Structure 1
């Protein structure tokens, strides 16, 4: 079941990426054609430009404000995704018991396992794909915003704080902050869950921040600013949604250290 979910998510993300990658280096304008450009990238680019005009011409503040607006807009989807994830996590012991009961690899036994698993989901009103749907809606929006920042000419012509928005951060401050906030956000998401015992997830906990830093060093600072603001929002969001779990995980860690 997990493999199927990851396959669906992976395929949709791949299609989304391929949809936007062909025009990545082309400036976005009102004349840009194609569904991706006309209905996702250009409206987001226009929102950035109009917000900058409202904020006295500051594209730095515009990116911050629009990032927060988009994150707030998709917040209900994130909450739904988190609730679905919690529901699936609560069923893990029963699912493990079913796997142990039907441990044989023959086709008939595996079919019985699938039937029992689906019956378990139905009994508790859990849809294993429900956590994927919000993600599938979010990704085109977030990737489209990423493209809008990259392809809006006006952004590259302005500066903000100590950096030019169209050039990499000369002091590497934003890339480092982007990496640190990515690590914190992922660590909070994994806290108290089975992902902590998953070696692949543990590896990604370190790999993703390193990749973000490497990319951010060479990418325009406007994108690094977007990553930092988005990560800080996600950290705050995760804290408020998973507060009790994070506290429990922290207390468990303290008690475990005390015993040693």
Structure 2
């Protein structure tokens, strides 16, 4: 219970309120659709909820299904906002404990079982004391995967959505001009780059991630219906803005440099005081 309270405290009230409002809007949009969406199992019922929500949101714009997908995407992003905030806060805490983790690795350089067990025990204690969850970064991905699958199936199984048009797009077909795949890749790069810039300890893998993810998203967007690519574009654009406000690398760098300068000044004064005592 205390751990749950700490998580809620870390997230803050505003993201939770926004998430609750988004959930209500998803329910309202689903209820506003007057047609029937078939479901014959638990999973198909989830897909049906998504389909009804998109169709209901589309009806608010004169059955503009592209606008319905955009609005539904924004609802989903606000719905999972508490998880994203928790992920970012956990990542920032992980960056703080990185020096201590490196010290542990230096303390237990051996590869024998006893050395690994001791390091794991001290590492877990370090995470607990710092309030860090090393698996927090996986939560949004775990949540979004079934959402993406359900969205894909809701579009593919709905003749109305599959035959819908939006701007130059046929929502059930690929983007003929590759505009959505390019935009999805660009916004993925922007959000990944912003996120990585706030991390002072980068290795080869972390440096490559902002360039690897956009390539994956680009080729994935080429292979899926435009409706899903539209979801990625809007979702990744939202993610870019969210990352800037929650994990502003320029602000974090200024704060880190100020803290380092303060620490250097403190150490300089200590050394000066010690030299004075010797005299």
Interval of TM-score (by shorter of Structure 1 and Structure 2): 0.7 to 0.9
2:243 paired residue among 228, 231, 238? 238
Aligned equivalents of 2:88 and 2:255: distance in 1? Answer: 22
Note the C-alpha offset of 1:224: 1.5
**Which string of whole-angstrom CA distances, capped at 9 and with x for unpartnered residues, describes residues 161-206 of structure 1?**
12222222222211211111111111112112157x3222333322
Residue of structure 2 equivalent to 1:148: 154
Calculate the TM-score normalised by the size of structure 1. 0.76
| Structure 2: runs of 5 or more not aligned | 1-35, 257-279
Larger Rg: 2
Residue of structure 2 equivalent to 1:164: 170
Larger mean CA deviation between 41-50 and 162-171 belongs to: 162-171
- Change in CA separation of 1:162 and 1:51 when aligned onto 2, cut-off 3 Å: same
Note the C-alpha offset of 1:83: 0.9
Do the aligned partners of 1:81 and 1:135 also contact (CA within 8 Å) in 2? no
Note the C-alpha offset of 1:49: 0.9
| Structure 1: runs of 5 or more not aligned | 1-28, 253-260
Aligned length: 221
**Which string of whole-angstrom CA distances, capped at 9 and with x for unpartnered residues, describes residues 48-82 of structure 1?**
11111222110010000000011011101110111
Do the aligned partners of 2:181 and 2:229 also contact (CA within 8 Å) in 1? yes
Residue of structure 2 equivalent to 1:20: none
Q: Which has the higher contact order (CA 8 A, sep 6+)?
A: 1
Aligned equivalents of 2:189 and 2:73: distance in 1? Answer: 19
Moved over 6 A (4+): none
- Change in CA separation of 1:167 and 1:132 when aligned onto 2, cut-off 3 Å: closer
- Change in CA separation of 1:246 and 1:107 when aligned onto 2, cut-off 3 Å: same
Calculate the TM-score normalised by the size of structure 2. 0.71
